[in-house]
Structures are given as C-alpha cells and as structure tokens.
Amino acid sequence: MISSADVVVIGAGITGTSAAFQLAQRGLRVALVEKKFIAAGSTGKSSAIIRQHYSNAITARMALYSLRVFQNFADVLGGGDAGFVTTGFAILVAAKDRAGLIENVAMQKRVGVNTRIISSDELRELNPGIAETRDIASAYEPESGYSDPASSATGFADAAKRLGTQVYQETRVIGIEMSGGRVIGVKTTNGMIATGAVVNCANAWAPEIGAMVGVNLPVQAERHQVATFQRPADFRAPHFTAGDFINNIYYRPEGALLTLAGSIDPHHGTPIDPDNYNESADYEFIEDMATRIRNRYPVMERAFSKGGWSGIYGVTPDWHPIIDEIPAGSGFFVAAGFSGHGYKLGPAVGVMIADLVTRASAPTAELDRALFRYARFAENTPVRGKYEYSIVG
C-alpha cells in the first residue's frame, strides 16, 4: 500500500469510482479504498435506470450530463463499456397532475433534456401492449434507458487506474486521523495512508465513516426490492422504461425476455443493517409487483416470475444526497445519501466532487452543488420535489 496520497476516496461504487477518475484527471494522486470489491454495495444491485425526469433543474442537469457519459462511455473514459441500452423512458401520471407534468417538462427542455409531452395515442404506438391510457398524462424521453452498473463502476475504476489511481479492494477503513481540525491520514486494515483529503462515498455506510471524525450524517440504510418477470411469448418486443405513478412502480426491460419492476413508494423501504440483510425478494413483494405490472400490461397476466433481489439505498430525510465538505476547511468531504438516485447521477457527481476537493475557482457551471449542502438539515431547508414520491422526484 502507498504511504501517502493527495486524496483517499472511500467506497468503490459508481460515486467513488467516478470521483477517483475525475480527481486523477486533474493530476491528483488518488487512493480508492473499498472494503469488499468494486460495486459490492448499492451500485451492484441497482436497477440502473438512466432517466432525466426530475423536478429540480440541477438534478435534471446532472442526469443529462451523466446520460452523455453513459452514451459515450469508452470515448469519455478511454475504454470500458457501461452496457448502455436505449429503451426510451416514459413518466405516467394521473390526469389531475397534467399541469405539473407540463411544467416539469418545460423546465427539463430549458436545461437541454430531449423530452416531450405525448398523447395517449402516441403512448400506445410506442408500446402497443399497454393498457387503456385515456385517463393519464405522460411524457417521453427517447434517449433514456438503462446500463450495467457493475461494468460502469469497473470502467470508471479502470480509467482511474490508467491515470495512476491506486485501487485497494478488501481493505476496510478503520480510522481517520485529524490534527488541528484537518484530515492528516486514513487508517486501513492494510496500513496507513497520509493524506490531506478524504472523500466519503460509502453511501449507506457513510455514517460509520462520518463518526470517525465526529460528523453525524443523517443517512439511513434501507432495503429496497426488485422483482423480475419473464414476458410471455407474444410480448417479447422490449418495452420502454417507465416511472408509473398510477401503479406506483418503475419498470424496465432486461434483455430480450425479462422485465424488472420495483416500487416508487418510499414506504416500501425497510431500515436495515447494510452488512446483514435479506438480499432476496419477498414472495409478497413479487406478487404485488406482478399485480401492478399486469395493471399496465394486461398480457403480463401470463408472465412467469423469475424471483428478484434486494439492494440497499442510503436515504436522507429529503431523499437527496449530501455533497459537501464537513466542516468547511477540514478536508473531510462527503458524497452520500443518494436515496436510490446515485447510479444515474454518478458521472456528474464525480465532477462535482472534483470541483469541491480541488476548490475549483470556476466550478463546472451546470453542476452547482449548493442544493446538496449538509447545513440544509439544520436550516430546515430540505430539497423539495414536486412529486408525492420522493424516490422519483
């Protein structure tokens, strides 16, 4: 293990690997430390949906920036494959929410997102198997889709290594040394690294790292489930990816045969110990998702359940991340609490972290991190979305 680094990044999910890449691009000596393996935590079990539909301009910009990276992954990183698949993304809301949807889409267009309001007839043309849609409003992003989360994180890690980053897997952080209120080193199970900057990208495990320097991070580890279904033989054409507020689900195709489905109701999450939880999907959850997906696609009555899995969200009180230095001037940086949004925003977050750590005099203009400051919780100024279900907005 190296004895010193300019920056130590903790956690090798999409956030940590993207941050390591961006920091290394700026000429810093980076050590990326992961207690298990790349994408072992939230990233590896993400549904990996790539969409840009948000109700805040900054998160829409972050999603758009990240989409362009996923679309051009090998060119941007100098190699690798994110496994990006373009399916299109539809957002479906009740007719009573049409005005709010139109307002959101107008904002997204202003920041450059390729999106539009579509009619019921166009929705059915895009997906002939969809149920009657006269009573809903919808918008559509033709460029969106999904990616391979483990391949994406690995691609960022490999790109960071090509720029000199040292990656240490199976290496646990056991302490952070401070002097005069500043970071001076990181203790790991494989030795000590002297450094003036630490980036806590541990997401659901971030409070454990924060406690090492006396920082209380309001991030709750939650179990969120995903169900998988094999589509019937007469419904093999891949459908679009969607956030369906009527049935309170998200869904996307997986390859030629499968559909993945999960809940967009935050109350479906269960507080857990992220090191000891049930990683499979409950039968009751799979049955519930089967009913909801059948409501949208009647042909899925004849689908076959293929089980499912559970992943981990690191959830903050307002369902938006913390991206900040805590306290200012300490060299202890946090990018955690992504609440199920982290994968699709990961490439942009790496840039925001690099701007923050290097104290860039001109931070990347479209990626303003002020919304995600730590102090917002004490100030009682949480990030507000326009949707009932924060898991989407």
Regions of the chain short of the pLDDT cut 50 = 389-390
Residue 187's H or E segment, with its range, is strand 182-188
pLDDT of 366 reads: 73
pLDDT at residue 390, rounded to an integer: 46
Compute the distance between CA of residue 20 and CA of residue 42 in angstroms, rounded to an integer.
18
pLDDT at 174: 98
Given this model, what pLDDT does residue 135 score?
Answer: 85
Q: If we measure between CA atoms, which residue out of 380, 361, 321, 362 comes closest to residue 345? A: 321
Q: Which residues contact 180 (CB under 8 A, 6 or more apart)?
A: none
How many percent of the chain have pLDDT more than 70? Answer: 97
> Which pLDDT score, from 0 to 100, does residue 365 have?
63
Residue listed under structure tokens 């994968």: 343
pTM of the model: 0.95
- Spatial separation of the C-alpha atoms in residues 109 and 296, rounded to whole Å: 27
Burial of 361 (0-12, 13-18, 19+ CB in 10 A): exposed
pLDDT score recorded for residue 386: 63
Residue 292 has, within 13 A of its CA and on its CB side, a CA count of 26
Best CA proximity match to 219, nearest among 98, 86, 115, 374:
374
Rounded CA separation 57/63 (Å): 10
% of the chain with per-residue pLDDT over 90: 86
Using the structure block, give the residue that is written with the tokens 């401070």.
178
| pLDDT score, position 387 | 57
| DSSP-derived 3-state class of residue 8 | strand
Given this model, what pLDDT does residue 362 score? 65
Could you tell me which residues come within 8 angstroms of residue 152 by beta carbon, excluding any fewer than 6 positions away?
A: 14, 43, 48, 70, 73, 80, 82, 83, 343, 346
Residues 248-300 have pLDDT tens digits of: 999 999 988 999 999 998 777 789 999 999 999 999 999 999 999 999 999 99
